Chains A and B, each alone.
Chain A
Amino acid sequence: MAEIKNYTMNFGPQHPAAHGVLRLVLEMDGEVIQRADPHIGLLHRATEKLAENRTYLQSVPYMDRLDYVSMMVNEHAFVMTIEKMMNIKVPIRAQYIRVLFDEITRILNHLLWLGAHALDVGAMTVFLYAFREREDLFDCYEAVSGARMHAAYYRPGGVYRDLPDLMPQYQAANNKSKKEMDRLNNNRQGSLLDFIEDFSNRFPTYVDEYETLLTDNRIWKQRTVGIGVVTPERAIALGMTGPMLRGSGVEWDLRRKQPYEVYDKMKFNIPVGKEGDCYDRYLVRMEEMRESNKIIKQCISWLRDNPGPVISKDHKVAPPRRQEMKEDMEAMIHHFKLFTEGFHIPEGEAYCAVEHPKGEFGTYIISDGANKPYRLKIRAPGFPHLAALNEMTQGHMLSDLVAIIGTQDIVFGEIDR
C-alpha cells in the first residue's frame, strides 16, 4: 500500500490573500496546515542601503514607501531619530500636527486592514465601505502635502508647512450636476481642520456601520473566535507589538509607555484583548480607531487656538522661508547648503520608535559625522509577526490561514524593506 504523505502547496506570491507578495510553502495534511514556511524578499528594495547614499532629507520619502498604508508614521520614526541625534527642538504646534496625522494615519491603516481582513474572510462590502472613508483621509494628506499617499510631510525639525486655511474643493466637471457638486464640497468650505473635524464627527457612525456587518455576525465569529490564539507570554517572546500584542491582553503602547511628541497630554484608552485570537485583535483594532478619533478631536481643538511656527527656526536643518531668501544672503546660503549637501549628524547612534498602527516601528541610525547615515536599520513590526505565522497557523485549516494573515495586518513594504 502506498504511503500516505503530506503534500506541499505553494501559496502565493500571486494569491488574492497574499497581501502583496507573500509566498508561503505550506505542508498540508488534507486541508489542515502542518507547517507554514513564509518566503520573503520579493519586494526587497534595499531601503536601508539606499539611505546610506543619500542625505538624511532625501531618505524621508523612502520611509513613506516602507509600510505604504501608514506613510506618515514611518516618516515620524525616522525624523524623530534625526532630531534625537541632533537635539533639535520641534515647535509644539508641529508636535500636535504630527500627532494629528499619526492618528489619521492609524485610522487609514486600520481601515485598510479591516477591509482586507474582511475580504479575506469573504465579506466584501466592508472593504468598499472602508475605502469610502479612506478617500476623505487621503484628501487630508493631499491638502497638507500635495500627495495622497507618499506625503514626505514630516521633516527633521517639524513638518513641511502649516495646515492650509482652505480645504481644496472638487472642481466642476460636466458629468456632475450643481447639486452633486454642492454635496461633494459641502464639508470643504472651511479650513482643513474644519474638514477633519467634520470627518471625526461622522467617523464613529461609520465604525458602527462596520461593526453591524461583522461584530455580532455569527459567521464572522465562527471564522475568527479561537483562530490563531497567541498567549501573552508567547506574544512577548515572539516580539509582537501593537495590536497583535494588545490582542493577547498585554497592555503595551509606546504612546503611553514612552510618550513622544504630545501624547502625554492626550486622553485616550488602550484597548486590550483577552483571548489573543483573531476576534480579539479585530475588536482591539476597531476600538483603536475610535480612540484615534478621540485624539484627533483633542488635537483639532488645540490646533485651532494655538497658531505658531511648525518647523524649527534652526536653518541648519530646516530650510528658511522663501521670503527670507529674497532678502537675506545667509538664508540663501542655508537653503543652498541644505538642499545640496544636506545637514551633518554628529558621530553617534540612536534608536527611536513610534507606536505604528502595526506595532513598534523604529529606526536605528549610526552616524559617522557625515551628511548621510553610516548605517540605517529599520525595525518593522510586521517582520516578527510574519515570523510567528507558522506557530499561529499550526493545526488550523487553509481558510484560517487566510484569516490569520489578515489579522496580522501584513504589509510587504515594511517586511521586505
Chain B
Amino acid sequence: MQPILQEYFPAFADTIWVLMKIVAIVIPLMISVAYLTYFERKVIGYMQGRLGPNRVGYFGLLQPIADALKLLFKEIIVPTKSSKALFYLAPVLTIAPAFAAWAVIPFNAELVLADINAGLLYVLAMTSIAVYGVIIAGWASNSKYAFLGSMRSAAQIVSYEIAMGFTLVGVLMCANSLNLGDIVAGQSGGILQWYVWPLFPLFIIYFISAVAETNRAPFDVAEGESEIVAGFHVEYSGMAFAVFFLAEYANMILVSVLAALMFLGGWLSPTALIPDGIHWLLIKTAALLFFFLWFRATFPRYRYDQIMRLGWKIFIPITLVWIIFIGAMMQTSYNGMFH
C-alpha cells in the first residue's frame, strides 16, 4: 500500500498513510464502543434476570445502531443563558483525548501508530485533559445539577489520577521504559513474567482507579443518576450527549487495554506453547471490561467524600509503600523478580 501511495502522491504519501492508519484504529474503536454498550445492557440484563435488548435485529444486535441513529436525529438543545461556544466545545474536549490516546497503544509488536518513547506519559496527559471537557460541560450548562456534577468529577479525577500515576511508576520501575511496546516486551516469557504478580497491589489499585477515572459505577458520582440526575451532561441532548457517552466507553476500553498491556502482558500468550497475537490483547481487554459491567450491576454508589477518602487515604499510601518496597527489593538479590 505504502509504495503505491509513494508512486501516485509523492508529496502527501506519508500524511495519507498516517490518516489511513488513524481510520483503521478509530473505526474498529467506534464499533467496539457501540457494541460495548450492547454488551453492557445484555450482561447486566442477564445478571438482573432480564433479557436486555432483543428487538432490533437478531438478539438485538442492531440496537446500538438504532440508538445512534435516534440520537443523531434529535435536536441539540442549548439551555438559555448557557455559554454557547463552551457548551459545544465540551463534548469535543471529552472525546478528542479519549481517541487521541489510542495513538500510542501497541496492538502487537509492530502494529502501533506512533511508537514514541514517552508513550505512557502521553497516555496520562491525554486522559487528564478529558476532565476539562467535563468541567466545561458543567460550567457551560448554566445548571446547578450540572455544576455539582462537574465539581465532583474534577475533584475525583484529579485525586485518582495521582493514585493511577503512582501505580504506573511501579510498572516503569520494572520495565525501565516509558514505551508501551517495551513494557510489553519486558513481560515476555510466559504468564509468570507478567507484571501483575510482583505488582499485584498496584494492579488492583490501578484497576479501581481506572473505574473511578472513567466515572463508572460505583464511582459514578459525577453522573449520580439518582442524586444529580445525570450530572455534568444533564443539559445535553442528541448527538452532544452521545459524544459524552462515546467518550466514556472509549475511555473504558482505553484503560482496560492499558491494564492489559502494563500488567497482563498485552499481546503475549500465557505460555510458550501457544503463539502470541493481537487476539490475546483483545481477550484480556474484554475480560477486564466485563469487570466494569459486573461492578455496575453489583455495587451501590459511593458518596463523593467517601471516594476522596478512599483515594487519598488508602490508595495513595499503599502505592507509595509498594513503590518503595519494589525499589528496595531491586537492590537485593531478588531483583530478578522485577524484570
Instruction: Enumerate chain A interface residues (CB-CB to B < 8 A).
Output: 7, 9, 15-17, 31, 118-125, 128-129, 132, 213-214, 217, 219-220, 222-223, 397-402
With A7-B144, A124-B48, A125-B47: A223-B226 Cβ-Cβ less than 8 Å: no
Shortest Cβ gap from B210 to chain A (Å): 18
* A16 touching B48, Cβ below 8 Å: no
B297 and A124: CB pair below 8 A? yes
B152 to chain A, nearest CB (A): 8
The answer to whether A399 and B144 touch across the interface, beta carbons within 8 angstroms, is: no
Bound Cα distance from A85 to B302, whole angstroms: 52
B221 close to A399 (CB less than 8 A)? yes
- Expressed in whole angstroms, the Cα–Cα distance for A397 and B304 within the complex equals 9
Residues of chain B within 8 A (CB-CB) of A132 are 49
Contact of A128 with B304 in the complex, beta carbons under 8 Å: no
Task: Flag if A129 contacts B229 (CB, 8 Å).
Answer: no
User: Which residues of chain B have C-beta atoms less than 8 A from A125's C-beta?
Assistant: 44, 47-48, 297-298
In this assembly, does B299 line the interface, its C-beta being within 8 Å of a C-beta of chain A?
yes
Within 8 Å CB of A217, what residues of B?
Answer: 299-300
Q: Across the interface, do B298 and A400 meet the contact criterion of CB distance under 8 Å?
A: no
The residue on B at minimum CB distance from A406 is B226
A-facing residues in B243-268 (Cβ within 8 Å) = none
Nearest Cβ in chain A — how far from B45, in angstroms? 9
The residue on B at minimum CB distance from A221 is B300
Chain A residues contacting B326 (CB-CB under 8 Å) are: none
7 closest A-B pairs (Cβ-Cβ)? Answer: A122-B301, A123-B300, A128-B48, A17-B226, A122-B300, A121-B300, A399-B303
User: Is there contact, CB below 8 Å, between A16 and B304?
Assistant: no
Kindly state whether residue B138 has any CB partner on chain A within 8 Å.
no
Query: Which residues of B from 37 to 55 have beta carbons under 8 Å from A?
Result: 44, 47-50
A122–B299 CB distance below 8 A: yes
- Check if A219 sits within 8 Å of B299, measured CB to CB: yes
- Cβ-defined contact, B220 with A122, below 8 A: yes
B34 lies within 8 A of chain A by Cβ: no
Report A-chain residues with C-beta under 8 Å of the C-beta of B218: 122, 219
B202 on interface, CB distance cutoff 8 Å: no
A213 to B48 Cα, complex, angstroms: 12
* B303 adjacent to A16 (CB under 8 Å): no
Binary per-residue interface labels of chain B (215-232) against chain A in the complex, 1 for a CB within 8 Å, 0 otherwise: 001101100111111000
For A17, the chain B residues whose CB sits under 8 A away are 226-227
Question: Do B297 and A222 touch across chains, with their CB atoms under 8 A apart?
Answer: no
Say how far B168's CB is from chain A's closest CB, in angstroms: 26
- Is B148's CB within 8 Å of the partner chain A? yes
B67 CB within 8 Å of chain A:
no
- Sample 27 A-B pairs with CB under 8 A, ordered by A number: A31-B148, A31-B152, A119-B226, A121-B226, A121-B300, A122-B217, A122-B218, A122-B220, A122-B226, A122-B299, A122-B301, A123-B299, A124-B296, A125-B48, A128-B49, A129-B49, A132-B49, A217-B299, A219-B300, A219-B306, A222-B303, A223-B302, A398-B148, A398-B228, A399-B227, A399-B301, A401-B227
CB closest residue in chain B, given A400? B303
A222 to B12, CA, bound (A): 59
B217 touching A31 by the CB < 8 A rule? no
Q: In the complex, what residue of chain A is closest to B296 when comparing beta carbons?
A: A124
Would you give the shortest CB distance from A122 to chain B, in whole angstroms? 3
Quote the shortest CB–CB distance from B291 to chain A (angstroms). 15
A219 to B310 Cα, complex, angstroms? 11
Give the distance to chain B from A135, nearest Cβ to Cβ, in Å.
11
Residues in A neighbouring B228, C-beta threshold 8 A = 398
Contact A220:B300 (CB < 8 A) given known A31-B148, A122-B217, A132-B49: yes
Of B44, B220, B297, B300, most buried by chain A (CB within 10 Å of CB) is B300
| A123 contacts across to B, CB distance below 8 A | 298-301
**Other-chain residue from B48, B144, B152, B302 in contact with A129 (beta carbon distance below 8 A):** B48
For the A-B complex with A7-B144, A219-B302 known, give 7 more contacts whose Cβ atoms are closer than 8 Å. Answer: A16-B225, A122-B217, A122-B225, A129-B49, A132-B49, A223-B300, A223-B301
A223 to B221, CA, bound (A): 13
- Interface pair A214/B48, CB less than 8 Å apart: no
User: Closest approach, in angstroms, between the C-beta of B287 and any C-beta of chain A?
Assistant: 21
B14 at the interface (CB under 8 A from A): no
Interface string of B275-302 (1 = CB under 8 A from A): 0000000000000000000001111111
Q: Are B49 and A402 in contact, CB atoms less than 8 angstroms apart?
A: no
CA distance A128 to B144 in the complex (A): 31
Closest to B297 in A: A125
Which residues does chain A contribute within 8 Å of B303, judged by CB atoms?
A: 222-223, 397, 399-400
Counting chain B CB atoms within 10 Å of each CB, which of A15, A31, A124, A129 scores highest? A124
Provide the residues of chain A in CB contact with B47, threshold 8 Å: 125
A129 to B297, CA, bound (A): 12
Report A-chain residues with C-beta under 8 Å of the C-beta of B302: 122, 219, 222-223
Tell me if B75 is interfacial: C-beta within 8 Å of chain A. Answer: no
Which residues of chain B from 144 to 169 have any CB-CB distance to chain A below 8 Å in the complex? 144-145, 148, 152
Q: Which residues of B contact A31 (CB under 8 A)?
A: 148, 152, 304-305
CB of B298 within 8 A of CB of A128, answer no
The distance from the CB of B259 to the nearest CB of chain A, in whole angstroms, is 22
Asked whether, in the complex, the Cβ of A402 is within 8 Å of the Cβ of B226, the reply is yes
- B226 touches which one: A16, A128, A219, A220 (CB < 8 A)? A16
Interface centre among A7, A401, A402 (most CB of B within 10 A): A402
Return A140 CB to nearest CB of chain B, in Å. Answer: 20
| Bound Cα distance A123, B296 (Å) | 8
In the complex, chain A residues whose CB is within 8 Å of the CB of B49: 128-129, 132
Partner pick for B305 among A15, A129, A397, CB 8 A cutoff: A397
Residues of A within 8 A of B227 (CB): 17, 398-399, 401-402
Contact indicator A399/B304 (Cβ below 8 Å): yes
A168, chain B: closest CB distance, angstroms: 22
Task: Please report the C-alpha to C-alpha distance between residue A219 and residue B208 in the assembled complex, in whole angstroms.
Answer: 14
A186 and B49 CA atoms in complex are apart in Å by: 19
What's the nearest-Cβ distance from chain B to residue A23, in Å? 14
B300–A118 contact, CB under 8 A? Answer: yes
Q: Which residue of A lies closest to B230 (CB)?
A: A16
CA distance A102 to B224 in the complex (A): 36
A400-B218 Cα distance, complex, nearest whole Å: 15
Shortest CB-to-CB span from B218 to chain A, Å, is: 6
